[in-house]
Structure 1
Amino acid sequence: MICGQVGFIDWHVKVMKSPSSGHPPEDAAPDVTTENSFMVPKKEISMVPDMDKWKRSQAYADYMSFILTLNEGVKGKKITSEYKVSETVEKLVDLLGTLDRWIDETPPVDQPSRFGNKAYRTWFSKLDQEAEALVSAVLPNDSCAAAPEIAVYLKESVGNSTRIDYGTGHEAAFAAFLCCLCKVGALRVDDQLAIVFKVFNRYLTVMRKLQRTYRMEPAGSQGVWGLDDFQFLPFIWGSSQFVDHPTVEPQHFVDEKVVNEHHQDYMFLDCIKFINEMKTGSFAEHSNQLWNITAVPSWSKVNQGLIRMYKAECLEKFPVIQHFKFGSLLSIQPTKP
């Protein structure tokens, strides 16, 4: 089943359905005000046995539907493809530009330790204070009541200010942030390509700048046994971009010439370029899990394998999900039949 058929609009608590078909029209906006009382998200997974609640939750179903809908949407398409850029997408890019500017305004401080520059905490405190206003500026007027709830996911998406680290749990919070914007109707079905290629890509550049500037530690890194120190989703969506590519096969992504020629078109290669800039030595040694992908015969198999790995290594791992927060838009309640 193509996940795009169940994505975005069908998640909404209540939508404007077409009387004849029973399905929502493509431009339907959700009516979240009548059945949805917004709330500040909170942690619900405090012990390992709570993971069953997460896997049965509406939040898990909605989150995975969102990830897979976008995975289907970008299949075979380049970052430089033509796609619609809505006003909300432009506002999100501006929001991320603000976060980027704040990095320039908050230079690293001199300190004894090499990693985890404390200036990051100053940068983060600004976001902590301004997040709700930033989100309000993105939301339609009739959804502004959702700003306190959605702003929590934005704050969770940039790393931890105590440990000065960043990892796939923070990345998941940004995907949850975008998912919530879809659920309140700020983002729509025809924004799919822009969500990945324009918004998420801009998010990646800001996170890479944070990681470089403040020397952030990888959160919960598995070292050589992990896919990547910081990200996972761009490898999933990036491998989908390559499905049925006429010339670039999985074995080619470690070729420096291929990376340099195509990284602006393909997220997967842009991630490889960043790894090559940050790490020295043999790629097979410092990025063993990615190196193993070169032996996979097709990008579709790479894509399927990465989705399975993401579920197993990120979404079903207690150390990651214990930090996830649940509200009215991403609910801990069991999936509705």
Structure 2
Amino acid sequence: MVETKLNNARDALTEKLRAVRNTDVPQIPLAHKSESPTGPGDNDPFQGAMDPLVVAHPDLNAPLPKKRIVTQSNLDHFAHSQAFAEILGMIRSCNEYVKGRKLTDNIQLSAPVERILDIVDKVRALVDETPRDTDSASTSRFGNPAFRTLYRKVVDATDTLLQTIPGLENGDDPAYQERLRKELAVYFYESWGNAKRIDYGSGMELNFLCWLLGLTKLGILQLARDAEAIVLRVFWKYIQVMRVVQQTYWLEPAGSHGVWGLDDYHFLPFLWGAGQLVGHPYLKPKSIHDVEVLDEFAPDYMYFACIHAINSVKTESLRWHSPMLDDISDVRSWAKVDQGMVKMYRVEVLCKLPIAQHMYFGTLLDYGAPDTGSEDVEEDEHGHLVHAGSVPHGHRVHGHGEGQGAGWGDCCGIPIPSVFAAAEQNKAQAGRVASTPIRRIPFD
């Protein structure tokens, strides 16, 4: 009798989930696009969502993108710059376009979007061609050195890959198009992780966004036509490939505080994922705690897919290993979560010095200030900008037992082992076959 009741209850829940999944969520109108971008101090994170301005003819003689943010005053300048407004404007605009849209919806793809998807697939193929280093000296829980080989392959292939995008191929003005590719290439290969530290965080995710922003400012991508595809096809495929890269090479989370974000590596899929769910008639923020709901809706919504990915490698509840996500689940509506995500991204990613110091500025993404004093600045062994000959006081270098030296403690001074590496090592110690799925492990 009890078993029959349980089966009936399970069948009823399955039917309810199927009905919810098949419900068409009403489309939310696009936000009004202001003539001028909203500044970083505005209260409404969606006011002023805008299409980035098109830069028709970048200066061929300008230097290639380089890092410009060294100090807090540099960061303060960036926070009030046109580049800052354009980055946040693209995030807001894309967020508006995907409200009420599912990952599984039919979306028309333009020729540039199709080529970009092919490029991301090519990077995925490079991962398959570059196996993890299984040498006993390199099987720690930290980054696998084979990632540096993958990174070099991506750098070497970048120009050829970019030539497949309409507008970047060698046409009537090959010198101009080559210059465009060189500018965009910096953001592209920096978006797959850091080869020196073998880590990944929201700064690298930001580079991918800047790459897409550059393509938009050149008019190759058009938000009115491509915004849905940018988020639900291009960006989501990038996230899926990055998950494979993180798992294959055990990339460490960038920074001693993870990514100042929401999981070990990413932020934007939660932001745009919350946007997808705004106005949903049934799913609520607290629904992330229901395993059956996660299983049912992860294919449709980025937010649920990200929670599902976290649960696949970490046991216990979100409250223990992802307290911020747990707190967000108490918010009453996705609209509030959505607004909070944009504000949080501005504060916790764009306005965080350990992240912003790795940003690149050039013709497409203009820092907006004279390039003075750069002759006294150099990069240390971990890619941080420091004044020549200086060693930041009180910071340890990134690494494992390497001692004192130049570095930023808040950025990469405390190595954090990859949860994927820990899971595989525990599996191996238990005598499991290497080809079996990664076992969930307690967060430690």
TM over 0.5: yes
Say which SS state the counterpart of residue 227 (structure 1) adopts: coil
* Greater per-residue helix proportion: 1
Larger of the two Rg values belongs to structure = 2
Task: Return the letter of the residue paired with 2:94.
Answer: L
Distance 2:95 2:151 in 1: 30
Q: Cα distance, 1:161 vs. partner?
A: 0.3
Task: Return the letter of the residue paired with 1:2.
Answer: A
Which residues of structure 2 form unaligned runs of 5+?
1-29, 36-48, 370-444
Q: Deviations over 1:187-223 (max 9, x none)?
A: 1121010000110010001100000000000001525
Distance 1:257 1:36 in 2: 55
Task: Return the letter of the residue paired with 1:133.
Answer: T
State which of 142, 146, 153 in structure 1 corresponds to 2:180. 146
Q: Cα distance, 1:139 vs. partner?
A: 4.0
- For the 8 Å contact 1:115–1:215, the answer to whether it is kept is yes
Q: Cα distance, 1:282 vs. partner?
A: 2.1
Q: Cα distance, 1:32 vs. partner?
A: 2.6
Change (3 A) 1:82 1:5: farther
Change (3 A) 1:267 1:3: farther
Distance 2:280 2:237 in 1: 24
Instruction: Find out whether 1:309 has 2:344 as its counterpart.
Output: yes
Change (3 A) 1:8 1:185: farther
Q: Which residue in the other structure is 1:176 paired with?
A: 210
Distance 2:233 2:139 in 1: 38
Q: Which residue in the other structure is 2:57 paired with?
A: 32
Instruction: Find out whether 1:262 has 2:336 as its counterpart.
Output: no
Distance 1:79 1:3 in 2: 24
Task: Return the letter of the residue paired with 1:310.
Answer: Y
Instruction: Find out whether 1:69 has 2:93 as its counterpart.
Output: yes
* Structure with larger RCO (C-alpha < 8 A, sep 6+): 1
Task: Return the letter of the residue paired with 2:151.
Answer: F
Task: Return the letter of the residue paired with 2:347.
Answer: A
Q: Cα distance, 1:136 vs. partner?
A: 2.3
Instruction: Find out whether 1:238 has 2:273 as its counterpart.
Output: yes
Task: Return the letter of the residue paired with 2:115.
Answer: K
Change (3 A) 1:148 1:98: same
Matches within 5 A, 1:162-201: 162-188=196-222, 189-201=224-236
Distance 2:260 2:186 in 1: 31
State which of 356, 368, 380 in structure 2 corresponds to 1:333. 368
Change (3 A) 1:198 1:172: same
Matches within 5 A, 1:264-283: 264-283=299-318
Say which SS state the counterpart of residue 32 (structure 1) adopts: coil
Distance 1:8 1:155 in 2: 27
Distance 1:47 1:87 in 2: 41
Distance 2:84 2:206 in 1: 11
- For the 8 Å contact 2:253–2:259, the answer to whether it is kept is no
Say which SS state the counterpart of residue 138 (structure 1) adopts: coil
- For the 8 Å contact 2:52–2:90, the answer to whether it is kept is no
- For the 8 Å contact 2:98–2:275, the answer to whether it is kept is yes
Matches within 5 A, 1:1-337: 2=31, 4=33, 11-13=53-55, 31-32=56-57, 39-110=63-134, 111-140=138-167, 141=169, 144=177, 145-188=179-222, 189-222=224-257, 226-333=261-368
**Structure 1-normalised TM-score?**
0.89
Q: Deviations over 1:273-326 (max 9, x none)?
A: 111112122221001000011110100000111111111111100000000000
Distance 2:182 2:259 in 1: 38
Q: Which 4+ stretches in 1 moved above 6 angstroms?
A: none
Q: Cα distance, 1:254 vs. partner?
A: 2.1
Distance 1:309 1:218 in 2: 19
Task: Return the letter of the residue paired with 2:111.
Answer: E
- For the 8 Å contact 1:150–1:180, the answer to whether it is kept is yes
Q: How many residues align?
A: 316
Which segment is superposed worse, 212-221 or 139-148? 139-148
Distance 1:97 1:191 in 2: 19
